[in-house]
Amino acid sequence: MIWGVRLVPSLPDADLPALYRAADRASMAAQRTYLRFVRADLALIVASAVFGSCAASTVELRAVLAVLGATAFVAGLILTVLLMQMRPDRLWFGGRAVAESAKTIAWRYMMGAEPYRKELTDQEADRRFSEELRKLLRDRSGVAASLGGSAAAEQQITPRMREIRSEELPTRRRIYAEARIQDQRIWYAGKACSNRLASTRWLVLVAVTQLFGAGAAMARIFWPDLGFDLASVLAAAAAAFLAWLQVKQHQSLAQAYGLAAHELGLIETQAGHAIAEEAFSSFVADAEAAISREHTMWVARRDVVT
């Protein structure tokens, strides 16, 4: 149980299109690369502040500290240049956009919703599905070039997708309500909660660092001969923590995920009223639009690969 709601299993990734799996893997790998680079860059900035804040009693020690400080700055500069050239954040966001779009297309296909209505032949539905994936790849050619050939040998329309599509409306409606809407709503709610907590923790850490920085600055009045400028180091640390909070965007994500969870909760209440194919198709369209809206807004705030 999560928040009083029965946790239902989502459709496994292995049962979704190969394009979804490939884009998802590429996005996650690019995300890890980007965040590692940023963490290292911020750590080097703080290290530079540490070396620059140390008082040296000898000329030799002063030279060593200067070299270490310069080395940290140069290493950070190299990481910054690499980030500018590689732009893993663009593949991170662009890959996520492709993955979520492919998942939406797959669920529409499985549910027999527009443009894959149940009255279409399997051949026509498969053709439209393939065309949508091709269009998605054309629109995101930069991402497609980064996927390699890993997805080429795998199925785009899996046996489970065909099996679900062949089910009667009540079964498809139940599968969609549980494995798509409820699963996604619980995921959004969990992410909203975790991002709110993370935002609070980082803000508290920044506040504590600033408080100790103020104390360290005042200490210089009473002990002017201190051999270490702790206030400067804490100032750099507070700036690094704020920069990390901006990179992770916990506050904005908490709001967006929370809104998406509430919207899906409202849509979920209408599932039982979709008792005809046409009404169910409209219901699926509304639900997928709500899910896609969050991802579209998330990607739109960033510069993505096109």
pLDDT score of 300: 61
2 phi and psi angles, rounded to 5 deg? -130, 120
pLDDT value at residue 139: 85
pTM (2 d.p.): 0.84
Cα separations (Å) of 250 from 29, 89, 147, 186, 282? 20, 16, 28, 18, 33
Q: Model confidence over 23-81: pLDDT tens digits?
A: 999 999 999 999 999 999 999 999 999 998 887 778 888 898 899 999 999 999 999 99
Query: Sign of the CA dihedral 150, 153, 156, 162?
Result: negative
Where along the chain do its domains lie? 17-300
Q: How far lies 94's CA from each of 7, 174, 207, 282, in Å?
A: 29, 32, 34, 28
pLDDT beneath 50, residues of the chain: 1-8, 303-306
Residue 166's pLDDT is 93
Residue 303 main-chain phi, psi, to 5 deg: -90, 105
* pLDDT attached to residue 108: 95
Alpha carbon of 86 to those of 82, 102, 300: distances in Å? 6, 25, 20
In 3D space, the residue among 261, 294, 101, 297 whose CA is nearest the CA of residue 184 turns out to be 261
Q: Token pair for residue 8?
A: 């239902």
Peptide bond between residue 115 and the one before it cis (omega within 30 degrees of 0):
yes
